[in-house]
Chains A and B, each alone.
Chain A
Amino acid sequence: QKEVEQDPGPLSVPEGAIVSLNCTYSNSAFQYFMWYRQYSRKGPELLMYTYSSGNKEDGRFTAQVDKSSKYISLFIRDSQPSDSATYLCAMSDGYNTDKLIFGTGTRLQVFP
């Protein structure tokens, strides 16, 4: 079993839709949860960063962490064609903060 599971998609939605991206994990020691966006042929860029459980909002993006269910989500409101990219979740246990465990990424396409 992989430590982090993420549906690879692709996920195709119309412009303006609400997008829900999810990851599940098996390691209960994970405390830091990140979402990265990766455009084609580019490196990942950090979108959201949360510690422990709860919600965090930044503009059109909301990250949710449910540690009891070992489940994290990223919601994108009013999705735009420019949001088309691969979204990667990443996690760390906090004891070795250098090491991030990534999901496989979900490819999102927002069509006009």
Chain B
Amino acid sequence: GAVVSQHPSWVICKSGTSVKIECRSLDFQATTMFWYRQFPKQSLMLMATSNEGSKATYEQGVEKDKFLINHASLTLSTLTVTSAHPEDSSFYICSAGDRGRIDTQYFGPGTRLTVL
């Protein structure tokens, strides 16, 4: 099956710093990549949808200036959490797939972010 990787798998940073998370589709080209956030005992919440070469579409309530998404190629999307604060500590998961193919979203293993 299709493989999506994320790097790093976990990161600890100080409050006020920025953290970049990479999401790569290893064996297929993804026209669309999605970024989710999952707090303990809560649902995966879609943060934003990015299409290669265009600006990301953010869900309501997600600050686009705080969560910068770059989708530079069909195999790589990055999420940068700028000026991170403890409340940003969460599990961030990306998925990659074909736009409009709801059964072909392949999820990465996730990145655990802890902000001290």
Mark A residues whose CB is within 8 Å of B: 2, 4, 8, 32, 34, 36, 41-46, 49, 88, 90, 92, 94, 97-105
Contacts and interface: CB of A to CB of B under 8 A. Distances in A.
A43 B108 contact: yes
Interface stretch (B14-22, B37-45, B70-78, B79-87): B37-45
Interface of B: 4, 6, 9, 32, 34, 41-46, 49, 93, 95, 99-103, 105, 107-110, 112
B109 A98 contact: no
B102 A43 contact: no
B45 to A, nearest CB: 8
Contacts, number: 58
Contacts of B95: 43
A100 B109 contact: no
Contacts of A103: 43
Contacts of A49: 102-103
B104 to A, nearest CB: 8
7 contacts: A43-B107, A45-B107, A88-B43, A88-B44, A90-B44, A100-B105, A104-B41
A46 B43 contact: no
B40 to A, nearest CB: 10
B34 A98 contact: yes
Contacts of B110: 41-43
Contacts of A104: 41-43
Given A41-B9, A44-B93, A100-B44, 6 more contacts: A4-B43, A41-B110, A98-B34, A101-B43, A104-B41, A104-B42
B108 A105 contact: no
Nearest to B5: A43
A109 to B, nearest CB: 16
A88 B107 CA distance: 13
Contacts of A8: 41
